[in-house]
Amino acid sequence: MKPGRAAYLTSVAAVYVFLMLPISIVVIASFNSGKYLRFPPEGFSLRWYAQFFASQPFMDALELSLVLAAVSTLAATLIGTPAALYYVRHAKNWRETFRLYTLAPLLLPEILTSIALLFLYYQIGLGTKTVAGLYFGHIVICVPFVFLQVTASLYNLSPAVEEAARSLGASPATVFRRITLPLIKPGIINGALFAFIISFDNVTISLLLKGVGTTTLPMQVFDYLRWDFDPTTAAASTVSILMTLGAVLAVDRLVGLRAMRY
């Protein structure tokens, strides 16, 4: 093996180790039978999973996080996709301004976005008595991810392909349904996956905007860790990792990750 290739493989391996090691330690720790979150674990047990699933606060938080992520993903996809189409194909003089505004939630520190939204909510009388503001905040930070991914896939799609379909007798609506949409589908799916993951483990936005008396899973884990140091949080983290993986696998099942090519 050439030294260059060895260095390359080593660095790839290092990236994997640094990314995966903390995660696998959390997963292993969640099966600990002892009373404290520690590594290596003291024996095998599923008791912390039982505790997690039996805990009403954790279940409420999990449910809110899942619904929140699903709704934010759907909304961000429905907003981000047309925004990308507009930006790439139709925006003329103000297209860079438009792009900047759309990406602003990604470019600005999230804490600024959430403080700004909080001010806005109190200004318009929405406050944080309901979860509406939380949903809105999550949608705002998810849109740029869909926008970026769909924009990239639109740049790869030559306008001539759509024109060819027009010349063959397809109306603009048919062209969108039969040509454009299938060809930007990978970007939409990628963007939606990003949106789901961003929403599902978001802390900053949720911290300020969550409604009174409600909480998301990452917030609940955080709150719980302040008073208890038992492996329930490791179980919660493992479940949330599984949820994220589940989202990826569900996409694979529904549309096929192989469909990512087209």
Partner 1 sequence: MTRLSIEALEKRFDAVRAIAGIDMEVAQGEFVALLGPSGCGKTTTLRCIAGFESPSAGTICFDGDDVTGLPPEKRDIGMVFQNYALFPHMTVNGNLAFGLEMRDIAAGEVQRRIAEVLGLVQLDGLGERYPRQLSGGQQQRVALARALVIHPKLLLLDEPLANLDAKLRDEMRFFIRGLQKRIGITAIYVTHDQAEAMVMSDRIVVMFDGIIHQLGTAEDVYDRPATRAVASFIGLSNFFEGTFSGQVGVHYGLDTALGRIGCGAGFALTPGQKATAMIRPEAIGLASAVPNGAAAFQGTVAERYFLGNLADYRIKMADGSVLQVQQPATASFAPGAVVHVILPADRAWLVRERAP
Residue 213, SS3?
A: coil
> Which of 72/149 has CB closer to partner 1?
149
Q: Per rule CB under 8 A, is residue 160 in the interface with partner 1?
A: yes
Q: Is 171 in the site for partner 1 (CB under 8 A)?
A: yes
DSSP state of 179: I
Report the residue number, 94 or 101, with the smaller CB distance to partner 1: 94
Alpha-carbon distance of 119 to 134, in angstroms, equals: 13
What are residue 129's phi and psi, to 5 degrees?
-75, -25
Q: Of 20-28, 112-120, 160-168, 243-251, which segment contacts partner 1 by CB under 8 A? A: 160-168
Q: Does 163 bind partner 1 (CB under 8 A)?
A: yes
Segment interacting with partner 1, rule: CB under 8 A, options 82-90, 93-101, 116-124, 171-179: 171-179
Nearer to partner 1, 33 or 171 (CB): 171
Please tell me whether residue 89 binds partner 1 under the rule CB under 8 A.
no
The count of other CB atoms within 10 Å of the CB of residue 208 is 19
Peptide bond between residue 40 and the one before it cis (omega within 30 degrees of 0): yes
For position 164 contacting partner 1 by CB under 8 A, the verdict is yes
Buried b / exposed e across 94-117, counting CB within 10 Å, b at 16+?
Answer: eeeebbeebbebbeeebeebbeeb
Where on the chain is the footprint of partner 1 (CB under 8 A)? 158, 160-161, 163-171, 174, 178-179, 182-183, 262
